[in-house]
Amino acid sequence: MNDIATPGSTIETARLLLSPLNETHAGDFESLFRNDWEAIKQTGQIPFPATKEAMQIWIAKCSIPGSHAFCVSTKVNGQSIGVVGFGGSHAISELGYILGRAFWGQGYATEAVKAMVGLARSFGLGGLQAYSFVENPASARVLEKAGFSNMGTIVREYPKRGGMRRVMHFRTIL
Ligand SMILES: CC(C)(COP(=O)(O)OP(=O)(O)OC[C@H]1O[C@@H](n2cnc3c(N)ncnc32)[C@H](O)[C@@H]1OP(=O)(O)O)[C@@H](O)C(=O)NCCC(=O)NCCS
């Protein structure tokens, strides 16, 4: 297993491969998320509808220095199941993730998030943070299972999700 990764390398966990995100993943993401507003609305930035073209633009925006985004696929058959990553302009990098609905409830998000924690640690980052809309207990549970602490509820601006929103703020110290 490759828990200590250099930037740009694929990470292997027990059941998953996390491959650095690139434009070729856009078609897979269209298949996974395209019209699933109920899933997409829980993220801050994923475009809706998640067409291949929209996802290509989103992937390009993720591909900036300091951003570490990965296509999540299963080792058993190589199928893409979602995306996970961290980055951003704040002192503590922000984590995000989404899986295709067919793959929920099997512990995959927790496994992928734990891999991100290991990667951030291997980069020498001091911590990671994440925000979960208060209406999204599944995401909060993923963060708790991955060792994040709930710092409380705050209000934060999400221009693509209706403006000011109440979110649970999670943080982990590395
Ligand atoms: C959130 C998401 C990534 C979770 O993926 P997943 O692979 O199903 O997550 P896991 O299986 O690792 O863990 C989910 C946990 O949430 C729990 N859960 C699911 N729905 C829940 C609910 N309505 N209330 C409380 N807990 C819930 C599960 O029981 C599980 O906890 P457990 O292992 O203690 O039983 C997935 O639902 C998703 O992609 N949602 C849309 C996008 C999103 O919310 N992204 C996060 C933005 S911050």
Tokens found for residue 160: 């693509």
**pLDDT at residue 7, as a whole number:** 65
* Residue-level pLDDT at 5: 53
CA of 142 to the centre of ligand 1 (A): 6
pTM: 0.96
User: Ligand 1 centre and the CA of 108: distance in Å?
Assistant: 9
- Show the beta-strand stretches assigned E in 7-66: 11-12, 16-20
Residue nearest to atom 41 of ligand 1 (CA): 39
Q: Tell me what pLDDT residue 63 has.
A: 87
48 CB near ligand 1 (under 6 Å) = no
Residue 162 pLDDT > 50? yes
Q: How much of the chain, in percent, has pLDDT values that exceed 90?
A: 91
- Cis upstream peptide for 159 (omega within 30°): no
* Assigned CATH for 11-125: 3.40.630.30
For atom 1 of ligand 1, which residue has the closest CA?
A: 139
C-alpha–C-alpha distance, residues 104 and 81, integer Å: 9
Residue spans of the domains in the chain: they are 11-125
